[in-house]
Amino acid sequence: MDTKLAAAIDAKRDDLIALTQDLVRMPTLNPPGRDYLLICEYLDGRLKAHGFQTELIRAHGTPGDSDKYPRWNIIARREGAHSGECVHFNSHTDVVEVGAGWSFDPFGGEVSEGKIYGRGTCDMKGGLAASIIAAEAFIETHPAYSGAIEISGTADEETGGYGGVAYLAERGYFDPKRVQHVIIPEPLNKDRICLGHRGGWWAEIETRGEIAHGAMPFLGDCAVRHMGAVLQAFEDKLFPAMASRYTEMPVVPEGARQSTMNINSIHGGEAEPEEGFTGLQAHCVPDSCRIVIDRRFLVEETLEGVRDEVTDLLEDLRKRRPDFEYEITERNSVLPSMTEKTSPIVQTVAGAIKEVMGIEPTYVASPGSYDQKHIDRIGKLKNCIAYGPGILDLAHKPDEYIGIEDMIDSAKVMGTAMVKLLLPSDK
């Protein structure tokens, strides 16, 4: 790779560690969406000092936005010396709850044996820090670059991205006329390129019955038994049908290369007693039972097809089963996204991985979704991948960490990608 750039990144090792620690020490927990302004102002100061023009944007009126928990985002842009294409690095600033089982302070940013520990180190403040260091080192060594570099820090990825990338995409910030290449430094491992993700459909299904005395259930109608019939139909028909569908997407782990569905929750009849309540239950036939389903689907399937498949099973039960009544309510949906392997950003980053680490990249797709969906579906920008340091399996777990060497290597890959895209004569 470019030796000056590599040396500049190596020289910033301590800066990279300190930057990651600073970011981790801001507890941007989501929910509820804490400290977004704090982290945006921090990034604002840092990037302005390196010649970026910045904009802080609050996603007014998006889910969770309030004066107590405002959804702040930052977009920073630095124009080059000549016209050209724009390379954008997008990171989410929110982290998930801490959970139990930590042996390090989750917001301490402690360094131990070449790793930085804390909630969000891997997912994805380490990736954000690596992209900032890559950009700063690139600007330092190639000040007369063409085009533009953008870095964004966005809210709410962990809860769907509506107050973050979706909001910005709706306002044209990911218009292909403005931005041509997007790298999302999510923790997919430094030698892997993530081309996209599966889609998701979330819905609540309620079966209805009629309340009666539990000693005379024949005088009522049990909603839980109706739900039992729904679950049986899923077992008999839906799960085998989903298991038979394989995607061309390189989804990891292997099990997620099929269509899948989880039943997130089930509830029917009397409410659970409060903790410590010692009374007995009343005897009633439940008149309602609800489940929430989480259906993940493939790029080869359509959202309509996914919905119809479930609704057809329920309609079939309505015909066959006396007094079967149901209601289905959609909670949310996201469409799958996959960038072609032949697209410029994939080719560029693949070349950079080979140059920096001397290995062929592995191509993967994510079983769950991330902000690429909004850049693709709302922004209409297809030339987008996830590439960043960190081990995906550590995300959301106790003792989450990021390897310092991994951050350095992936910063070199990101820097090399900028050399390829923003110094056209070097191609």
Instruction: Give residues in contact with Zn ion (CB under 5 A).
Output: 123-124, 186
Give the residue nearest to Zn ion (CB): 123
Helix axes 404-422, 3-11, angle to 10 degrees: 140
Rounded to whole angstroms, the Cα distance separating 350 from 360 reads 7
Residue spans of alpha helices (H) in 172-238: 223-233
Closest distance between Zn ion and the C-beta of residue 127, in Å?
8
Number of neighbouring beta carbons within 10 Å of residue 83 = 9
Tell me the torsion sign for CA atoms 167, 170, 175, 181. Answer: positive
Rounded to whole angstroms, the Cα distance separating 128 from 124 reads 6
Closest distance between Zn ion and the C-beta of residue 132, in Å?
16
In this structure, are residues 34 and 40 in contact, taking their beta carbons and an 8 Å threshold? no
Cβ distance to Zn ion smaller for residue 188 or 205:
188
Cβ distance to Zn ion smaller for residue 186 or 301:
186
Closest distance between Zn ion and the C-beta of residue 4, in Å?
32
Reduced to 3 states (helix: H, G, I; strand: E, B; else coil), residue 328 is strand
Cβ distance to Zn ion smaller for residue 164 or 269:
164
Cβ distance to Zn ion smaller for residue 116 or 230:
116
Backbone angles phi, psi at 368, to 5 degrees: -100, 180
Closest distance between Zn ion and the C-beta of residue 371, in Å?
8
Cβ distance to Zn ion smaller for residue 28 or 247:
28
Rounded to whole angstroms, the Cα distance separating 238 from 230 reads 10
Closest distance between Zn ion and the C-beta of residue 249, in Å?
19
Closest distance between Zn ion and the C-beta of residue 186, in Å?
5
The candidate with the shortest Cα–Cα distance to 88, out of 116, 44, 128, is 128
Cβ distance to Zn ion smaller for residue 187 or 268:
187
